C-alpha cells in the first residue's frame, strides 16, 4: 500500500525530467522522460519509507534523506530537489495537502510565528550558535550570511557579497559622524564596512552569543572599537536615536505577528529626517507557510513574507516606503556558491559534526537554491523614511554612489599592485 500511494503521487507530479525509483524489493519505477534536467535515480532502503514520503512529502523527503532511508544513485541532492521543485512549480506550487492547510493558515501562523524575545533567542541559538569553523567552511571570508548582489551570474561569491554591502550603503545616504543602528548584525561585516568607508558610528544588535563575541573581536582587531559596538540585545529593547537603521537577513526571524512592533520600533528609533533600509527574503506568490522540514530543522520561527504582508505594517508605522527593489535570482546564485563550498569542505564539516548533519545541510542549501530558482523565492529591499523629503526624488544618487565606491576600490587595488 505504501508504495502504491507514492507511485500515484509521483505519477501525478513528474511532468518534467525523469525520476527513477528503486523500491525496497528492488523493483524499478520510472517517472517522466529525459529532457534538459539531470535524470535522477533514488533507492528506497526500507519497507516503510514509501508510505512516509507519500503521506507527508514536505517533511519526510528531508528527514528520509538525512536518515539515509533513501539514497541517490544517479545525480545528487541538488539535482533531486531541482527536479521535484520544477515539477511542483508546474502544479501551481503546492501539494494537494497544502490546499487543505490554507484554511488553517491564520491559526498556524500565530502558533509558528509567536517570536517573543525569549523564543527569538532560542531560535537564533539553534542556527547561529554553531561552530565558528562551520561558517568559515562555506561562507565568504567576511561571513556574509545573506543574499549577495551578483552583477553577473558568474561573479564570485566574495565579490557579490562586497557588492551587496556597496549596494546597501548607496541606499543609506551616509554622512560622516552619523549614528547607524544595524538590527541583526551577524558577524559584523556590514557594520565594519560602513564605519571604515563612511566614518559613521555603528551599533549592531544580535541575539547570538557566538556572533556577538566574534563581531566584537573583529572590531577590536580592525581598530574600530571606538566607532563600532555590538550589543547582545533584542531590537525591541533598544532605546537610542539613530540617523540610519539597516537590517539585513534578520527580518525573516521577526514573525508575522510582530511586524507592526518591528516597524513601529524603527519609527521610534529613527530621527525625523532619518533613513532606514530593510533587506529580507520574501515570496512572490503571496502569503504562505514555512516548509515543515525547514522550520523544524533549520530555522525554527522563521518565515519569508510576501510584500502584501509587510507593507501594511510599514504604513501603520507612519513610514514612507521611499524605494523598493526586488532581487530575483541573486539568492539562487548565492546558495549555489555556498553549497559548492560546503561540498568542497564536506570531510572537514563531517568531522565537526557527523554524516547526518552534512546531509541535513546539503538538503537545506539545495532546497533553498531551488526555491529561488523555481518556486517564487526572492529578496526585497525596502528603503523607508519618516519624511518623504529625506531622500532624493530620483534614484540617480544610488548609481552614483555605487560607482564612486567601485572606482575607489579600483584605485586602491591599482595603488597596491
Tell me which of 41, 183, 360, 368 is the catalytic residue: 368
Does 73 lie in the same domain as 186?
no
Examine the pLDDT at 100 and tell me if it is beyond 50.
Answer: no
Examine the pLDDT at 121 and tell me if it is beyond 90.
Answer: no
The average pLDDT across 20-40 equals 94
Q: Which of 408, 397, 414 is nearest to 193 (CA)?
A: 408
Amino acid 232: pLDDT = 96
Pairing of strands 228-232, 40-44: unpaired
Q: Which of 225, 216, 168, 221 is nearest to 195 (CA)?
A: 225
Pairing of strands 179-183, 201-206: parallel
Does 409 lie in the same domain as 303?
yes
Amino acid 97: pLDDT = 52
Give domain status of residue 99, yes or no.
Answer: no
- Supply the CATH number for residue 56's domain: 3.30.1050
Give domain status of residue 268, yes or no.
Answer: yes
Examine the pLDDT at 190 and tell me if it is beyond 50.
Answer: yes
- Supply the CATH number for residue 226's domain: 3.40.50.150
Range of the domain at 15: 2-93
Give domain status of residue 59, yes or no.
Answer: yes
Query: How would residue 91 be classed by pLDDT, with cut points 50, 70 and 90?
Result: confident
Element (H, E) at 305: none
Contacts of residue 60, Cβ cutoff 8 Å, sequence gap at least 6: 49, 52, 53
Does 150 lie in the same domain as 72?
no
C-alpha dihedral, 260 to 261 to 263 to 269, nearest 10°: 160
CA distance 294 to 57: 13
Residue 368 in 3-state DSSP?
A: helix
The average pLDDT across 101-119 equals 53
Give domain status of residue 147, yes or no.
Answer: yes
Does 228 lie in the same domain as 118?
yes
Query: How would residue 131 be classed by pLDDT, with cut points 50, 70 and 90?
Result: confident
Does 339 lie in the same domain as 233?
yes
Write the burial class of residue 406 (CB in 10 Å: 0-12 exposed, 13-18 middle, 19+ buried): middle
Domain count, the chain: 2
Residue 140 CA: distances (Å) to CA of 56, 70, 137, 334: 35, 32, 8, 10
Amino acid 89: pLDDT = 87
pLDDT digits (tens, 9 = 90+) for 223-265: 999 999 999 999 999 999 999 999 999 999 999 999 999 999 9
Does 175 lie in the same domain as 133?
yes
Give domain status of residue 398, yes or no.
Answer: yes
pLDDT digits (tens, 9 = 90+) for 279-336: 999 999 899 888 889 988 998 888 999 999 999 999 999 999 999 999 999 999 999 9
Give domain status of residue 105, yes or no.
Answer: no
Does 245 lie in the same domain as 166?
yes
Percent of the chain residues topping a pLDDT of 70? 89
Query: How would residue 379 be classed by pLDDT, with cut points 50, 70 and 90?
Result: very high
Does 142 lie in the same domain as 69?
no
More confident residue, 91 or 28: 28
Domain termination site, one of 41, 62, 93: 93
Element (H, E) at 327: strand 320-327
Which residue stretches of 177-240 are H helix? 189-198, 209-221
In DSSP terms, 315 is beta-bridged to none
pLDDT digits (tens, 9 = 90+) for 55-84: 999 899 999 999 999 999 999 999 999 999
Does 376 lie in the same domain as 268?
yes
Amino acid 300: pLDDT = 85
Does 218 lie in the same domain as 174?
yes
Amino acid 119: pLDDT = 56
Q: Which of 47, 39, 55, 40 is nearest to 23 (CA)?
A: 47
How many residues comprise the chain? 417
The average pLDDT across 357-370 equals 96
- Give first-to-last CA distance, the chain, whole Å: 68
Amino acid 411: pLDDT = 73
Examine the pLDDT at 186 and tell me if it is beyond 80.
Answer: yes
Query: How would residue 412 be classed by pLDDT, with cut points 50, 70 and 90?
Result: low
Element (H, E) at 322: strand 320-327
Give domain status of residue 103, yes or no.
Answer: no
Domain termination site, one of 93, 125, 143: 93
In DSSP terms, 229 is beta-bridged to 203
368 is catalytic: yes
- Other beta carbons within 10 Å of 389: 11
Does 48 lie in the same domain as 185?
no
Task: Please answer whether residues 275 and 384 qualify as being in contact, where contact means their C-beta atoms are separated by less than 8 angstroms.
Answer: yes
CA distance 187 to 143: 7
Query: How would residue 43 be classed by pLDDT, with cut points 50, 70 and 90?
Result: very high
Which residue stretches of 67-223 are H helix? 77-90, 96-101, 105-112, 117-128, 132-136, 157-172, 189-198, 209-221
Task: Please answer whether residues 294 and 364 qualify as being in contact, where contact means their C-beta atoms are separated by less than 8 angstroms.
Answer: yes
Give domain status of residue 343, yes or no.
Answer: yes
Mean pLDDT value across the chain: 91
Strand order in the sheet with 179-183: 228-232, 201-206, 179-183, 242-248, 270-283, 377-385, 320-327
CA distance 247 to 250: 6
Does 117 lie in the same domain as 71?
no
Amino acid at each position: 500500500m505504501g508504495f502504491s500511494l507514492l507511485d500515484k503521487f509521483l505519477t501525478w507530479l513528474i511532468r518534467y525530467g525523469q525520476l527513477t525509483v528503486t523500491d525496497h524489493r528492488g523493483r524499478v519505477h520510472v517517472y517522466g522522460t529525459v529532457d534538459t534536467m539531470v535524470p535522477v535515480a533514488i533507492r528506497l532502503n526500507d519497507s516503510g519509507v514509501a508510505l512516509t514520503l507519500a503521506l507527508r512529502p514536505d517533511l519526510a523527503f528531508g528527514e528520509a534523506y538525512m536518515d539515509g532511508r533513501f539514497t541517490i544513485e544517479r545525480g545528487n541532492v541538488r539535482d533531486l530537489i531541482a527536479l521535484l521543485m520544477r515539477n511542483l512549480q508546474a502544479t501551481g506550487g503546492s501539494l494537494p495537502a497544502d490546499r487543505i492547510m490554507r484554511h488553517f493558515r491564520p491559526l498556524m501562523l500565530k502558533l509558528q510565528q509567536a517570536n517573543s524575545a525569549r523564543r527569538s533567542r532560542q531560535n537564533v541559538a539553534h542556527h547561529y550558535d554553531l561552530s565558528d569553523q562551520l561558517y568559515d567552511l562555506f561562507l565568504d571570508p567576511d561571513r556574509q550570511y545573506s543574499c549577495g548582489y551578483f552583477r553577473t551570474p558568474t561573479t564570485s561569491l566574495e565579490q557579490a557579497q562586497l557588492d551587496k554591502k556597496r549596494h546597501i550603503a548607496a541606499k543609506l545616504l551616509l554622512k560622516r559622524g552619523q549614528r547607524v543602528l544595524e538590527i541583526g548584525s551577524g558577524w559584523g561585516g556590514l557594520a565594519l564596512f560602513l564605519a571604515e568607508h563612511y566614518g559613521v558610528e555603528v551599533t549592531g544588535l544580535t541575539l547570538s552569543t557566538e556572533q556577538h563575541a566574534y563581531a566584537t573581536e573583529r572590531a577590536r582587531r580592525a581598530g574600530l572599537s571606538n566607532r563600532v559596538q555590538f550589543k547582545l540585545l533584542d531590537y525591541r529593547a533598544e532605546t537610542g536615536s539613530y540617523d540610519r537603521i539597516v537590517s539585513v537577513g534578520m527580518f525573516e526571524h521577526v514573525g508575522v505577528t510582530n511586524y507592526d512592533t518591528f516597524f513601529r520600533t524603527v519609527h521610534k528609533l529613527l530621527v525625523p529626517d532619518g533613513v532606514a533600509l530593510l533587506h529580507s527574503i520574501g515570496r512572490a506568490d503571496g502569503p504562505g507557510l514555512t516548509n515543515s522540514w525547514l522550520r523544524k530543522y533549520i530555522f525554527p520561527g522563521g518565515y519569508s513574507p510576501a510584500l502584501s504582508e509587510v507593507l501594511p505594517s510599514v504604513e501603520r508605522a507612519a513610514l514612507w516606503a521611499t524605494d523598493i527593489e526586488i532581487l530575483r535570482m541573486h539568492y539562487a546564485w548565492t546558495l549555489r556558491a555556498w553549497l559548492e563550498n560546503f561540498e568542497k569542505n564536506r570531510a572537514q564539516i563531517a568531522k565537526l559534526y557527523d554524516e547526518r548533519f552534512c546531509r541535513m545541510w546539503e538538503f537545506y542549501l539545495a532546497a533553498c537554491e531551488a526555491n529561488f530558482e523555481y518556486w517564487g523565492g526572492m529578496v526585497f529591499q525596502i528603503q523607508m523614511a519618516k519624511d518623504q523629503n529625506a531622500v532624493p526624488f530620483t534614484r540617480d544618487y544610488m548609481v552614483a554612489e555605487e560607482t564612486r565606491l567601485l572606482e575607489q576600490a579600483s584605485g586602491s587595488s591599482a595603488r597596491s599592485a
